[in-house]
Structure 1
Amino acid sequence: MRYDDRLKTVLKGAFPEGSAAALQWRQVADLMAQKPGRLVNTDVQSGLTRLRDLHDRVDETDRIAAVRALHGRLRSAPLLVYLCADNDPICEAAILAADLTDDDWLDVIPQLSSYGKQILRTRTDLGEQSLKAISTEKGASETLILVKDTKAADLVDDVPETEAEETSQISTLVAKIADYQKKRSTDAPGQDLEHRSYFVETIDVINFETDDSGTIIWAEGPPKGAIVGVTISEPTFDDGPGPDAYGAAAFRQRMPLENARMRLCGASVVAGDWRMSAVPYFGEETGRFKGYRGVMRRPNAAEDAGHSDLDAERREQLQQLIHELRTPLNAIIGFSEIIEQQLFGPASFEYRALSRSITDEAQRLLTGFEDIDIAAKIDAGQVESVSGLTEPDWLLERLSQRLQSLTESKSVDLHINKAEPVRPFALDSESVERIFARLLSAAIIACENGEELNADVRTQIGGQPVNNFSLSRPSRIKGIAEEQLLDPSQGIDGDHSDTPLLGLGFSLRLVRNLATSANGSMTITDDRISLTLPAAATSEIGLRETEIE
C-alpha cells in the first residue's frame, strides 16, 4: 500500500509569500481536486483553510488560471463549493471545470449561489437527477462560515449575525462541508489510517527516478510528496522548483547530468539548492528512452552560490571544460568530412549520409558550447562591444551562406529588404554576424515547414544613428507574451534535432544580451521582433572612404 502524503507535505512548509503563495495555492487546489475520496476529513479542512488564508496573497488572475487548469479534473465537491464562494469569474471557471458524479452534484446544487446555478444550467452533461434538482431550485442562499477545525463547527450557530455579515464571502465556506464529509462513505476507510510523520530535521541525499517526460516518479530519502511530481526537464523560473539551464538542456539531449543545480521547494526538509547527478536509462527490449535515475545532494561550502569569490574560478573551469569538449568534437567533424568527401577512398552513399549527419550534430553541439561560453562571459561582464565597420551587403551575403542548409531543410523562405541607403554597422563583423545568426537561426527553427519570413533593415538618422532590423514573428511563437518567450524553459515542439540546443528562450535571451552589450537592444511586439544596433556616423563613413581611395 502506498500512502499519499503530498497534501500534508505542502501544508507542512512555511507560510509562503509573494509568488510562492500563488504556487502553493495552485498546488493545494490541484491536490485536493483530483483525489477527494482519498482525503480524510482533517485533510479537507486543512486544505480549504490554507486556500482561505492564502486568498488575499494570491492575485485574482492567478486564481482563475489555476482553476481553469483543473478543467476535467476537479472531482472534489467540497473544493468546488469553496471555489464557488469566490467571485463570479472563479465560480464560473470552477463549475465548468468540475467532473462530479450525479450524486455529488445533488449535494452541491443546494449550496450554489444563483449565479452558480445559472452557469451550471449551461452544462449539457448533467445526469437526470441533477437536471431535475437544478430545475426545481429556487436559488435560495445561506450564510455559512468556514471553520478551522471540527470542534469549531459546533459554534457556527452561535456566531452573531453582524459578524457573519462582516465576514468576506471568500473567507467563508459552507458549514455543510463537515456534514458532507461525514456522510460520504468513500472517505470512511481513509479515516482509520494511522498517519506517520516522515519528517526529519535534515536530509543530505535523495535518490530519485523520473519517467520519460522528466517528472520524478520515485524518491528515496525525503517524504515522497515533497519531491514526486517535480520535473527536471524545464529550467527553474522565479522561485519555483527545477534544474538550471544546463540540467534541462542535458535532459533534452538525453545526456548524463553531473552536478547540475537543482532547486526544490515546499517542505523545509528539502527546500533549497541541491546538486544533481543522473544518467538516462532505456528499455532492455525496445531500447526506448524511459527516464533518468540519479541522486541529489546538498552542495558543499565551496559550491554554495553565496561564495562569490569562487565565481571567477567557476567561469575558468567552465571555459576549460568547453575547450576540452571542443577538441574531440572538432576531431569528429574532421573525420566525418573525410568520409563524406571520400578523401581516403570510395565510401557508400549510406556511410556518406551518416557522416553528414554526424557532422551536423557535432556542429550543433559546438554552437551550443559557444553559446554557453558567451552567456557566461556576458554574465561576468567580459563581453564588450568592439568598434569597427561592417557593411550590410557583406553581412547579408554571409548570413545567406550560413543559413542556407537550415532554410532548405525547413523549406523556409527568408526575405530581407534593405531600405537604401543603409549605413554600415558600427561594430566588428564577428559581433554583428554572431547576433544576426543566432536570431535568424532561432526564428527559422520556430517556423512551420514552407513558411515565409519577412524582414527589413533601415538606418535611423539622428545624433547617434542606428540600424533597425525588423523580423516577422514565426507562426509557432505568435501570440506568446515576451516574458514567456524569453523564459529559458521556453521550447519548440517537434523533433529535438530541429530545436535550439539550449532552448528557444535561451537563444533569444542570448541575442538580447549580446545586443545590449553592443549598445543596442532587442524588442518583441505582437507580430515583430526588432533588433537595433549602432550605425556608423557620417565622419566614420567619410574616413573609411578616404582610406579606401
Structure 2
Amino acid sequence: MNEDVQSGLTRLRDLHDKVNEADRVAAVKALYGRLRSAPLLVYLCADDDPICDAAIIAADLSDEEWIDVLPQLSTRGQEAVKMRPDLRPLASKMLNIHALDGDEPSEPLLFVEDAENDNLVEKHLEPKTEEASQISALVAKIADYQKKRSTDIPLRDLEHRSYFVDAINAINFETDDSGTIIWAEGPPKGAIVGVTIAEPTFDDGPGPDAYGAAAFRQRMPLENARMRLCGAPVVAGDWRMSAIPYFGEETGRFKGYRGVMRRPNAAEDAGHNDLDVERREQLQQLIHELRTPLNAIIGFSEIIEQQLFGPASFEYRSLSRTITDEARRLLAGFEDIDIAAKIDAGQMESLSGLTEPDWLLERLAQRLQSLTDSKSVDLRINKAEPVRSFALDSESVERIFARLLSAAIIACENGEELRADLRTQIGGQPVNYFSLSRPSRIKGISEEQLLDPSRGIDGDSSDAPLLGLGFSLRLVRNLAKSANGSLTISDDSIGLTLPAAATSEIGLRETEIE
C-alpha cells in the first residue's frame, strides 16, 4: 500500500468522530459503482454496520480483487458480500470455503481454481505480502482505536474539520473527453469524480440539464447550465455550471471541459416552479441547437461572398450576402430571447467595473455603422462634459446601448436625424443619463403600446426587429433594471439611466444638474 493511500486512511480514522453516522453513510453511498480501492473497502467495513453495508454495495472490484480482499473483511462485510447479485463464481466459492466465525486461519491461504474439477483449491503460502500485512495492521489499529476512543473528544483543531460538514459554494472541475469528471477542487473527491456532464440527468441521479448535455455534444461553451449532484449533503442538490472545452496544444484534439459549479442564488431558486424551470431549459436547448447551423450557414455564405474557394458570379455573391444578413438577424433574435430568459430566471447579472464614455461611443459607432448607412440615418450623440465613467462592466453597457439604438434606428424613416444627449447627474448616487429623441414612426404612441411585445413597426418588414419593437424596448428596460438603472418614455424622448462612478478626477468642473 503506497504512502498516499496509507495517509488517506489515517486521515479518515482521525476524522471519524467528527462526522456523524448519517453523513458517513451518505458519503459512502455517493461512491456507488466507483469504490475501487481495496484498502478503503477494508477500512469502511471495519466501521459501523450501515457504513459497512453501504461500502459493499458501492464496491466495484474484479473477481481477483474480491478473492484477495475477502479474508481481510469483517464478518459483517463478508455476510454483506454474499448478498451481492453480481458476485462472480470464484469469489462465491471462496466465501463458501472461508469460515465466517471470526477465527483467522493459522497461516495464510491462497484459493486457486482447479480447471479440471471447476473448483477452488486451498494452498498454504508464505506470510502475506507487505501490502496485505499493512492492510491487516491498519484494520487492527482502527478496531483498537474504535474500542478505546472517548465519546466526548472536543473539536480542538478547526483546521482538521471534516469536509463533510463544511459549506461548499463552488466546485472547480475538469473532465476527460467523454465528459466524466476526473478532477475536482472543493468537495470530497469521491462525491463528484466519476460523475458525467455528457448525459442529461434522469430521475434522481446526478447529471446536467438538456442544455448542458447538448453543449457538451457540440463542444460548445456552456453558461449557467443546471447540474444536479447526489450523495453527501454538502454537495447534494442543484448547482449552476459554467465551463469551456479545452484541446491538446500539439494535436488540437478535444480533451474535455474545465469549469466551475456554484450554488444557485436566491433569485435563481425563488419564485419559479418546476414547470417554468423545465420550459426555460427547453428554450435554452432549442436556442443552442439553432445557433449551431446558423453559424455554419454564415460561414459558408461568407466563403462564397469572399470567393475564398474560387470565383463566384455576382448573383451568387449577392444571394450569399443576403443569406448572411438574414442569418445574423436570426442570431440576434435568438440572443435576445436567451437574454430575456436569463433575466426572467434571475441569471443575468451585471458585473462591477468602469466603462469610459468615449470608448462606448466609439464602439457604438463601429457596431451601428452598417445599420445607419442602410437607413441613411444621421445619429448624433452630444456628450455634455464632464461625463463620468459608467459603474458597470463594458459588455453590459454596450449590450444595453446597442439594443436601444438599433431599435431606434430601425424605427426611423430613411434619411431621418436621430439626436441624443449623454450627461452625468451628480448626487448621492450619481448616474449617467442618456436622452434619445423619438423616431418619427413611433411618435404619438403611448408607452403602454410601445412596450407591448406584439408591437411591430410599419414599413419594410426586413428592417424591423425580429421579435418586434415592443420586445426590444422591454428587453432594454429589463437589462437596465438588472443593472440598477431604468428606462423611461416621454412624449418626445426615451430616457436611459445607468449608475455612474462614485468619484471623478474632474473635480471642480462638475456642476450639479437639476
Q: Where on the TM-score scale, by shorter chain, does this alignment land: which range?
A: 0.3 to 0.5
After TM superposition, the score normalised by the length of structure 2 is: 0.45
After TM superposition, the score normalised by the length of structure 1 is: 0.42
